[in-house]
Amino acid sequence: MKEFFLNLGNLKLNTPLMLSSGTWGWGENLSKFLSLAEIKYSIGALVTKGVSLEPKEGNPPPRIAETPCGLINSIGLENPGIKEFKAKYLPPIKLYEIPVIVNLFGEKIEDFVGLAEELKEEVSGIELNISCPNVEKGGILFSDNPKLVKDLVREVRKIWNSFLAVKLSPVGPVFEVAKSCERAESDALVVANTYPALTVLSFKPLKILKGGLSGPAIKPLTLRLVWELSQRVGLPIIGCGGIITGKDALEYLICGAKAVQIGTANLINPKSVAEIMEELEKLLKTYGLSY
C-alpha cells in the first residue's frame, strides 16, 4: 500500500474508501468486526453520524424498511448533540488514528457555524449535510436553494480552515448547488445523500413509511450524477450510493470520483469495507489502473 493515496484539501487519505454517515453507529462495534490492521488498511476516513447543536430524539419506529435492492430509512437524525458527542463518542473514534470527518446538520446557518466552532482543532474535517430544512426560510431544504448553500459554506469557511465537504442531496437544483459550493470554497462534494422515497409496510393496518432510499437501487442514479458533476464542477467528488462491491467502487472512480463512501453495505455486512478494498485492489491490477 502507498504512503498515502490522496490529498483532498488538507486531508490525507490512505485509501479511497470512507465509511459514510449514519451507517456504522458511533463506532462502538467497528473493532468487533474488523481487526485494527483491517481498519487501517481499508478505511481512508470515518464520517460520523450527523450531529446537531442540541440532542435530537429522532423519529418513532418503524425507522427502517427493506425494499427491492434498497433500504428506506427514517431515523430522523437522532443524535446526542455536539457536547455529548465530543465528550463521549468522539474520543474512542479518534483512537483508530484515521481521519475523522464529522457530519453536521442544523436548522439555520448559525447552527452550522456553532458546530464548526465546537470542532476546531478536534477533527480532520467536517461534512455539511444540506438535506435538512432551514427554519428561517420557511422550512425549505438548504439543498433546494443554491444561494442559501453558498451563504452557508461561506459563513462556515470563515471560521473553518481544515477539510470541508458538502454532502449534496441527489434531488433539487443539484448542479447549481454544486457550483455554489465551488464558489464558496468547499474542498469537496459528497455525491450524494439518500433519495426521497416511500414504502407501504405490511402491518395491520398497512402503514406508510417515508424516508431516504439507499443501497444498490440508487447506484446507477448517483453514478450518473457523479459523472455529470465531474464534467461540470472543479471540486473533487466523493461518490456515495449503493457501493457493495469492489467493482461498484471502481465504477465510481472511473466515473470521476476521487474517493467513495460505503453506507448501506456496512449494515448488510460490517466487514464489507475490508472486502471492498481487497477486491478494488485486485481489479485495479487486472485493469492496469492505479490510484
Q: Sketch the per residue contact string, 183 through 202, with ligand FMN: x for CB under 6 A, - otherwise.
A: ----------xx--------
| Adjacent-strand bridge partners of 11 | 8
Q: Does 172 bind ligand FMN (CB under 6 A)?
A: no
Cell of 149: 448553500
Q: Is 69 a catalytic residue?
A: no
Does 218 interact with ligand FMN (rule: CB under 6 A)? Answer: yes
**Shortest distance, CB of residue 234 to ligand FMN, whole angstroms?**
22
Compute the distance between CA of residue 222 and CA of residue 171 in angstroms, rounded to an integer: 10
| 162 versus 194: smaller Cβ distance to ligand FMN | 194
Is 146 a residue that touches ligand FMN (CB under 6 A)? no
Give the chain's end-to-end CA distance (angstroms, integer): 11
Question: Which of 15, 42, 103, 124 touches ligand FMN (CB under 6 A)?
Answer: 103
DSSP string, 128-145: EE--SB-GGGTT-BGGG-
Find where cell 500500500 sits. Answer: 1
Applying CB under 6 A, among 243, 253, 273, 280 the residue interacting with ligand FMN is 243
CA-to-CA distance for 54 and 81, rounded, in angstroms?
A: 4
What is the closest distance, in whole angstroms, from the C-beta atom of residue 127 to ligand FMN in the complex? 7
Taking Cα atoms as reference points, which of 198, 206, 167, 193 lies closest to residue 72? 198
The identity of residue 236, as a single letter, is P
Of 106-114, 157-165, 180-188, 258-266, the window that binds ligand FMN (rule: CB under 6 A) is 258-266
The least CB distance from residue 172 to ligand FMN, in Å, is: 15
In whole angstroms, the minimum distance from the beta carbon of 30 to ligand FMN comes to 16
8 Å CB contact between 170 and 192: yes
Of 1 and 201, CB closest to ligand FMN = 201
Interaction of residue 180 with ligand FMN, rule CB under 6 A: no
Among 103, 107, 75, CA closest to 210: 75
Residue 73 engages ligand FMN in binding (rule: CB under 6 A): yes
Q: How many helices (H) and strands (E) does the chain have?
A: 11, 14
User: 190 or 233, CB closer to ligand FMN?
Assistant: 190
Shortest Å, Cβ 279 to ligand FMN:
16
Crossing angle of helices 246-254 and 272-286, in 10° steps, is: 60
CA separation, residue 127 to residues 80, 119, 130, 189 (Å): 18, 12, 9, 9
Q: Which residues contact ligand FMN (rule: CB under 6 A)?
A: 20-23, 49-50, 71, 73, 75, 77, 103, 129, 167, 193-194, 214-215, 218, 240-243, 262-264
Which residues have a catalytic role annotated?
132
